[in-house]
Amino acid sequence: MVDFLQTIVSGIAAGSTYALMGVAMVIIYKTSEVPNFAQGEMALICSYLAFMLLDQLGYPYHIAFPGALLFSIFLGFFLEFAILRRAKEPNILGLIVVTIGIEMVLLGLVSWKFGADPQTMSFPISPWDSLIVGDVFISYLELLTLAAALVIMVTLFLFSRFSKLGVAMKATQQNLVAAQVMGIRTNRIMMITWGVSSMVGCVAGILISPVTMQPFMMWDPLLKGFAAAVMGGMTSLPGAVFGAYLLGITENLFGGYVSIEFKSSVAFAIIVLVLCIKPSGLFARHYVKKV
């Protein structure tokens, strides 16, 4: 029973990171219907900026972390304005390829500047210090990740549901031309969306960095976050969150009781099964476009 509870707690902790990445992808998809596969490397370069400010330039935490978050927002603004917006007569497939290109460029920049060797970023909380409740333990860093994920997710949900900007983002996603006719500055909405998404991804990257920091550290969280968002529904923030925690718990249970080698495989098998039954995901509505 103790092992089962420990596995569930560890799955929830892992799911918090997946949830942040999944929510970051949903934010952009809800506005543009484009999966952003550069999301992980955008978080990566922001995390390495925080590392450079902290460990190489000697800035304190209260300057390095806000500085990285501010940089992430402007990075999102820049990528949307300078690259995505300049695509000539784009289609969804073309924009996906563009985001993959951005991913490889950012990965190359990080590898060129910092090298491929693992680094250790200073952090106020040690990833090895844990809180023990009975026979179940969870690290303080995992608790911080869980708290940060919950705060960000609730804030974004309220923002998208009740704010004018959130409604404008929904309108832009549903019908770009109609939104423009109604006076919504869709280009500005797109740019803000990329900035907010980049900031959420940056938070995930910074929280992952104390445990593992190397150029490929965001690939697994990105794939798991994207898978969770697809399973829950790419247009549903609560769906992405639910999918992330379900994914984290499921893969931990399978790894603990069946086979650690196929830990990730069974999670994606469940996703395939869900999409066969409900193609739009568990929480999103399935829309059929008529011509």
Query: What are the tokens at 55?
Result: 């460990």
State residue 2's pLDDT score. Answer: 62
pTM score, whole prediction: 0.90
Q: Is the pLDDT of residue 291 over 60?
A: no
Domain residue spans in the chain?
2-277
Q: Is the pLDDT of residue 261 over 50?
A: yes
pLDDT one-digit tens code per residue, 62-116: 999 999 999 999 999 999 999 988 876 778 888 899 999 999 999 999 999 998 8
State residue 234's pLDDT score. Answer: 83
pLDDT one-digit tens code per residue, 146-201: 999 899 988 988 888 888 888 888 788 777 778 888 888 888 888 999 999 999 99
213 pairs with which residues across the strands? 119
Separation CA 270–CA 132 (nearest Å) = 32
Fold of 2-277: ABC transporter involved in vitamin B12 uptake, BtuC (1.10.3470)
The rounded mean pLDDT for the chain is 86
Separation CA 131–CA 142 (nearest Å) = 10
Q: Is the pLDDT of residue 233 over 50?
A: yes
Average pLDDT (24-36) is 86
Q: Is the pLDDT of residue 290 over 50?
A: no
Of 65-69, 200-204, 222-226, 236-240, the range with the lowest mean pLDDT is 236-240
Count of CB atoms within 10 A of residue 84's CB? 21
- Of these ranges, 185-189, 202-206, 256-260, the one predicted with the greatest mean pLDDT is 202-206
